[in-house]
Amino acid sequence: MEGRLQVFAGNSNIPLARQIVAHLNMNLGRALVGQFKNGETRVRLEENVRGSDVFVIQSLTQPVDHHLMELLIMIDALRRASAERVTAVIPYYAYAKQEKKTTGREPISAKLVANLLTVAGTSRVLTMDLHAPAIEGFFDIPVDHLQAGPLLADYFRSKHLENVVVVSPDAGGVGRANRFREQIGAGLAIIAKQRPEPDVSEVLEMVGDVGGKTAVIVDDMISTGGTLVEAARALKERGAVEVYACATHGIFAGNALSLIADSVLKETVVTNTIPLQPEAEAARVRTISVAALFAEAIIRIHKDLSLSALFSR
């Protein structure tokens, strides 16, 4: 790509955006991203982007719809200002759990978000740990899909825990947990859960031996915390000595952090795809930065280099 590299950010995760540009030895592009008095999003680019290879960093954190709209309007502004290529860098892609109908008369919101991004003028997407990898196929533009698993595995390897069993808290996460198990060298256990209603999780059964072991639950996201806290409780009941957890996206919706603070979890590790709330420390939650990985991906995309090497780091 010939054009110069410029990186802008919406308001959803400024600390991560600053870390990413620090790794790139550059400053964030200057732009006004605010609101009119009537609540509508107001964007004005304050530097020239004509002919540039532009990346816009925006995690779809709460308030999700507002941050999505900021991203769409920034992309529209960049296109109208003649940016050559616009990559939406979306460390956390929201609406991903609505990637299929579970019953009649429901939307497929993850597909709608993909359509909105495409119509706004996005040339390509750089994201991390989509809840359902099939969402990549909702786009007809290139999607680069990074994984936080290797970074989280590095952290757990550095703790030198003994007699570890990696736990998938539901059937859908078995592939992820199995890759993590291979990376840290441990056994595998699988929980079967059910959701009697949205945002409520119940452990039904467990496969694998966890008695006397240190359990590490691996998930893609922590939303209400229900899945995690129930899984940790079931593991302790079945004889696990200590229970740790890790996930890429720490959403911590509602009272998730106080549920985790009051749980048997010894430590919960998430990445900074979503900014951490101040109560996280009391809940024994710590973060690992994905900034260097995103910076490397941005450079490789800009230089038209392969990203494959990043997927196994």
- In this structure, the number of other CB atoms found within 10 A of the CB of residue 311 comes to 14
Helix axes 149-158, 174-184, angle to 10 degrees: 40
Through-space distance between the first and last CA atoms of the chain, rounded to whole angstroms: 25
Residue 173 binds to ligand R5P (criterion: CB under 6 A): yes
119/200 with CB nearer ligand R5P: 200
Question: Pairing relation of β-strands 214-222 and 267-271?
Answer: unpaired
Sign of CA dihedral 43, 32, 287, 226: negative
Output 146 or 247, the one with its CB closest to ligand R5P.
247
Give min distance, CB of 229 to ligand R5P, in A.
8
Buried b (16+ CB within 10 A) or exposed e, 150-173: bbbbeebeeeebeebbbbbbbeeb
- Kindly state the number of chain residues that form the binding site for ligand R5P, as judged by CB under 6 A: 16
State in angstroms the smallest separation of the CB of 174 from ligand R5P: 11
Q: Give the separation between CA 62 and CA 252, rounded to whole angstroms.
A: 10
Output 199 or 209, the one with its CB closest to ligand R5P: 199
Which residues face 86 on adjacent strands? 54
- Contact by Cβ (8 Å): 56, 86: yes
Region for 306 from its dihedrals, namely left if φ exceeds 0, alpha if ψ lies in -120 to 50, beta otherwise = beta
Q: Hey, what amino acid is at 134?
A: A
Nearer to ligand R5P, 144 or 219 (CB): 219
Site for ligand R5P in 3-42 (CB under 6 A): none
Residue 280 in 3-state DSSP? helix
Of the two residues 39 and 198, which places its CB atom closer to ligand R5P in the complex? 198
- Taking CA atoms, 151 is separated from 7, 22, 140, 148, 313, in Å, by 24, 19, 29, 5, 7
Other C-beta atoms within 10 Å of 80: how many?
11
Strand, helix or coil for residue 267: strand
Q: Closer to ligand R5P by CB, 21 or 177: give it.
A: 177
The answer to whether residue 144 forms part of the interface with ligand R5P (CB under 6 A) is no
Do residues 50 and 16 touch, judged by C-beta distance below 8 A? no
Q: Which of 37, 97, 100, 193 is catalytic?
A: 193
193 has catalytic annotation? yes
Q: In this chain, which of 10, 91, 169, 250 binds ligand R5P, going by CB under 6 A?
A: 169
Interaction residues for ligand R5P, span 198-257 (CB under 6 A): 199, 201, 219-228
Give the shortest CB-3-to-ligand R5P separation in angstroms. 38
Which chain residues interact with ligand R5P by CB under 6 A? 169-170, 172-173, 199, 201, 219-228
Kindly list the catalytic residues. 193
